[in-house]
Structure 1
């Protein structure tokens, strides 16, 4: 799974960077803008953004301002703080996930299309729901990991 995520993110970065390169060359060097290129670049950009957030969730490398960790001494105390943070993240994330699901259903029902190329916007809209599902899955896995740390720290002499 890690290898797949790495290649997918790399591929999306290359697509976005390549599209921007083509846009700069055609617009500013050749002075011939490519119609619809910006519109098509929205799709991989949105997926890249959300899958990057999923990757940060998978690696547990989100930016945090854990000031309380300065005052905590033991691994168990750090794990308790992490459990509190993961539970809050899970509650807020599940609430946002319900909104993302409603938005996905709305997007599928309405059937919007992009203005120039008539690409269904559902392909970009569903990225929000997919990303939230994966982030909540990884948050749950990290919560279980921290709970195990607390339970094993209690058994230790």
Structure 2
């Protein structure tokens, strides 16, 4: 079962990495073009900023998922490094994991409310008439993956606190 989870995680991270690379390039090229067109050529190109913003939403959300997956999203390590015993560190990790699960569920609730609003009152961008659900879908995907990785971290932290070896806990 863990082999399946590892393959699934690998596929998700491959897709996230691809999206991050593509959207990073898109944001860079679009903003560079926008600046050059506006200030060098004197052109006002409609829709370029909308495409850059859409790409940026996907870039930020996928980057946040990668950071959450690597347990680097919310890191304040001053306290965890100051804890004197491995048991205290394990309890700290468990507390952080519980907080992350709660925050991830809250984020999913906000994403659901956003989708409900978007379905009830569909909106599009001003210049290109792109549905706002395109960038909003990045938030929905990120919130779902945040929950998955938060629960993974919670299970690992609970197993460590309960005394299951860290090697076995790390296999999740």
CA distance in structure 1 between the partners assigned to 2:65 and 2:149 by the alignment: 8
1:17 aligns with 2:31: no
| TM-superposed deviation, 1:109 | 2.5
Instruction: Give CA deviations for 1:120-149 in whole Å, capped at 9, x if unaligned.
Output: 111112222211111111111111111222
Which position in structure 2 is the counterpart of 1:48?
59
Coordinate RMSD, CA, aligned = 1.7
RCO comparison, higher one (Cα < 8 Å, 6+)? 1
CA distance in structure 2 between the partners assigned to 1:24 and 1:8 by the alignment: 24
How many pairs does the alignment contain? 154
CA distance in structure 2 between the partners assigned to 1:135 and 1:63 by the alignment: 12
* Residues 121-130 or 78-87, more deviating: 121-130
Which position in structure 2 is the counterpart of 1:5?
16
Runs of 4 or more, structure 1, over 4 Å off, are none
Q: How does 1:124-143 map to 2 (within 5 A)?
A: 124-143=135-154
1:117 aligns with 2:128: yes
Provide the TM-score with structure 1 as the length reference. Answer: 0.88
CA distance in structure 1 between the partners assigned to 2:78 and 2:53 by the alignment: 37
| TM-superposed deviation, 1:29 | 1.5
